[in-house]
Structure 1
Amino acid sequence: MLKELQLVRMSASLIKIAYDERHRGAVSSQQHNSVVNCCGFIIRNFCPMRWGSWAKIPEETRTLVRDNLEVVFEMEDISPEVSAYLEDIIYLT
C-alpha cells in the first residue's frame, strides 16, 4: 500500500478504479494487483483472524475497511459494478 500512498501524494489525487465490463474487473492486471494488495493490507491490519469470512465481519468493521480504501482510491460516485468488484476482492482476501 506504500506505493499507492506515494502515488497519491505525488499526484495530489486519488486513484480512480477503471472497470472493464467485458472482463468484470479492473482494466489492467497492474490496477487489479494494486487494489488486491491494498485490500489485503487493510484487512490484515483491521480484521486479523477474528472472523472466518467477510460475511461474518460486522458492518462497522466493513465500514472501517471501506474508509481506509478511500485514502487511496476514489470511492465517491463509483458505479455499482465497481462496488461489486471491490466487495468480491474483499470477500476473497
Structure 2
Amino acid sequence: MTQKITITWDPRHCAAATKEQHSALATDVGSVIRSHCPLRWKSWRTLPQETKDAVLYELSHHYELSNLDSNQMEYINDLCSSRFTQWKSDLHKHY
C-alpha cells in the first residue's frame, strides 16, 4: 500500500506551504477535473455536489484530505474552481 501525500499547510497564506506542493496538487486537481467533470456545467459552483465529491474522492487516493479545516477545504475548492474554469477556457480557445 502506498503512502498518501500529506499537504503541508501555511496558515498565514491559507495555502500549501511550498510552491512545489501547490504545483503538484494543482496539476493533479486539473487531471481529475478533466477526467470527472462534464462540460455541460457553466462553472464549478453549478456542478452537482456528487461530482465535486467524486473529485475529492479521486484526490484522496493520493493525498491525505481527512481532517481538513474550513480554510484548507476552501483552498482545495478554489483550486478545483480555477482548474475547471481554465479547462473550459482552454477548450473554448481551441475549438
Q: What TM-score do you get using the length of structure 1 for normalisation?
A: 0.82
- State which structure, 1 or 2, has the greater radius of gyration over its C-alpha atoms: 2
2:15 corresponds, among 22, 25, 48, to: 25
Q: Is contact 1:17–1:82 with CA below 8 Å preserved after alignment?
A: no
CA drift of 1:37 comes to 0.5
Q: Where do residues 17-56 of structure 1 align in structure 2 (5 Å cutoff)?
A: 17-56=7-46
SS in 1 for 2:72: helix
Letter in 2 for 1:23: H
Deviation, 1:30, is: 0.3
Q: CA deviation at 1:26?
A: 0.6
Instruction: Give the TM-score, by structure 2 length.
Output: 0.80
Unaligned runs of 5+ in 1: 1-8
| Residue 82 in structure 1 maps to residue 82 in structure 2 | no
State the identity %: 30
Moved over 2 A (4+): none
Moved more, 27-36 or 70-79: 70-79
In angstroms, what is the RMSD of aligned CA positions? 1.3
What runs of 5+ residues in structure 2 fail to find an aligned partner?
84-95
